[in-house]
């Protein structure tokens, strides 16, 4: 199924976010978030672009150094022209890994808004995939 222009623009954000993650660029990565964005996940609560940048800088200099974070879209919904909800399968792959352990396999719900002509993340919530049935098996 072909995506309309709005969906293509939204999904391009995730490709670009992956590139900044893969480059270890904390400032570039944080620029995809609004000033007051929220990130929630297992043992994670970040509030605001600056907090996200600081957290990612520490992670890229530490345990996530050299990691990659591909996002595989599972669903995309436009809630009008300026708002979207996207669900991705987003795994954190450490250098040299052939398989990702379950604790770094995530389903992520993203809430995005269009501001100044670009899509930005208002909030995301990640949850381990630990499901009996994974989305790609449906």
Q: Among residues 10, 4, 5, which one has the least CA distance to residue 83?
A: 10
Residue ranges making up the domain that contains 70 = 5-137
Full-model pTM: 0.87
The CATH number of the domain holding residue 75 is 3.10.450.50
pLDDT string in tens for the chain (138-residue length): 344 556 889 999 999 999 999 999 999 999 999 999 999 998 899 999 999 999 999 999 999 999 999 999 999 999 998 999 999 999 999 999 988 888 889 999 999 999 999 999 999 999 988 755 445 554
Q: Structurally, how many domains does the chain consist of? A: 1
CA distances from 86 to 43, 61, 66, 104, 132 (A): 22, 29, 26, 19, 22
| 8 Å CB contact between 78 and 94 | no
């Amino acid at each position: 199924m072909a995506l309309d222009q709005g969906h293509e623009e939204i999904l391009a954000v995730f490709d670009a976010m992956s590139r900044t993650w893969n480059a270890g660029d904390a400032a570039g990565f944080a620029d995809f978030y609004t000033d007051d964005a929220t990130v929630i996940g297992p043992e994670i609560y970040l509030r605001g672009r600056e907090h996200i940048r600081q957290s990612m800088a520490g992670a890229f200099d530490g345990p996530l150094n050299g990691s990659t974070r591909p996002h595989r879209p599972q669903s995309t919904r436009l809630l009008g022209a300026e708002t979207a909800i996207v669900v991705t399968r987003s795994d954190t792959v450490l250098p040299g890994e052939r398989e990702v352990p379950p604790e770094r396999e995530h389903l992520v719900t993203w809430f995005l808004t269009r501001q100044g002509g670009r899509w930005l993340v208002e909030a995301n919530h990640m949850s381990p995939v630990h499901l009996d049935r994974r989305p790609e098996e449906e």
